[in-house]
Amino acid sequence: MSTCIFSVDVEDYFQVEAFSGVVDRAEWSNYASRVEDNTRRILDLLEQHEVHATFFILGWVADRYPGLAREIVARGHEPACHSFWHRLIYKLTPDEFRADTLQAKTAIEQATGMEVMGYRAPSYSVTKQSLWAHDILAELGFTYDSSVFPIRHDIYGIPDAPRTPYEVSTPSGSITEWPITTFRAGGAHNWPVGGGGYLRIMPFWYTSMGVQRALGENIPAIIYTHPWEIDPEQPRIQAGLKSRLRHYTHLDTTYNKLDRLLALQPFTSFRDHALQTTLKT
């Protein structure tokens, strides 16, 4: 059976990497938050499709809105970690990364009452410069990570990384890496598919075709989105043209694309997939 996993990176519109140069993290609390309502719209959509997903929650969000984190769990979804301050890992020291991740994991676990086993880096910033992060994640008790994107990009990516899940052995133990979905067409080039700007900006036929090609190669389809991506009415932040194009393009199409995508395949969470796999063995 095809492996199709749905995931949500729970962060607000002003917390994204595209605006990190113009939005001071110390000022986050001064922005009008929209993460609760937008996340609940995604929760409702998933309920319509009877899908349980993995929610990589920003620690800051779990600390500020613990009721939202509890609701995610109460509605049958897996809580996971998306850092506390949404900083690129390769711009942190190992000690800074450890402190940020522990703070986030603690906040999410306290809010939800559940152990957190999964991690996703802000902007997929586990790169060749920050592979040391796997050791710290294993040290802190994480069993899997989904932060490696096997493509070329100006912010993230390890183009020659494995495209299927693989075990990473570290001094602190092993951890499973679930790379973000890519497909191939007409050669060895990896094409990104399944979420974020690739879902918003590209036509739906591209996403549908890419997911089917990936599944045909036995590559898991890991779909991801953010609550702010279904919110075309969000406040506009004045930033550079590239940042604005990346963030605001086709916000009005994301919800319908997610609805159509969820109808194509049965999706599950990382946790439930692991449980199903264990029961079969």
| CB proximity list for 200: less than 8 A, separation 6 or greater | 229, 249, 250, 251, 253, 254, 257
State the Cα–Cα distance between residues 38 and 192, nearest whole angstrom: 25
Residue 279 confidence (pLDDT): 57
Which listed CATH number (3.30.420.40, 3.30.200.20, 3.40.220.10, 3.20.20.370) goes with 4-280?
Answer: 3.20.20.370
Q: Which two tokens stand for residue 195?
A: 């979420």
Supply the pLDDT for residue 281. Answer: 47
In one-letter notation, the amino acid at residue 239 is A
The three-point CA angle 85-80-145 to 5° equals 90
How do residues 128-140 score in pLDDT, each as one tens digit?
Answer: 999 999 999 999 9
Closest CA to 176 of 222, 145, 204: 145
The contacts of residue 119 (CB under 8 Å, 6+ apart) are 56, 80, 81, 82, 101, 137, 142, 144, 145, 146, 147
pLDDT attached to residue 154: 85
**What value does the CA radius of gyration of the chain take, rounded to a whole number of Å?**
17
Q: Of 46, 59, 62, whose CA–CA distance to 97 is shortest?
A: 59
State the Cα–Cα distance between residues 23 and 211, nearest whole angstrom. Answer: 34
pLDDT of residue 153: 86
Q: Of how many residues is the chain composed?
A: 281
pLDDT digits (tens, 9 = 90+) for 12-71: 999 999 999 999 999 999 999 999 999 999 999 999 999 999 999 999 999 999 999 999
Mean pLDDT by 10 residues, the chain (281 residues): 91 96 96 98 98 98 98 98 98 98 98 98 96 98 97 91 97 98 88 94 96 95 97 95 92 97 96 78 47
Question: Which 3 state secondary structure label does DSSP give 239?
Answer: coil
The SS3 call for residue 54 is strand
Residue 278: predicted pLDDT: 62
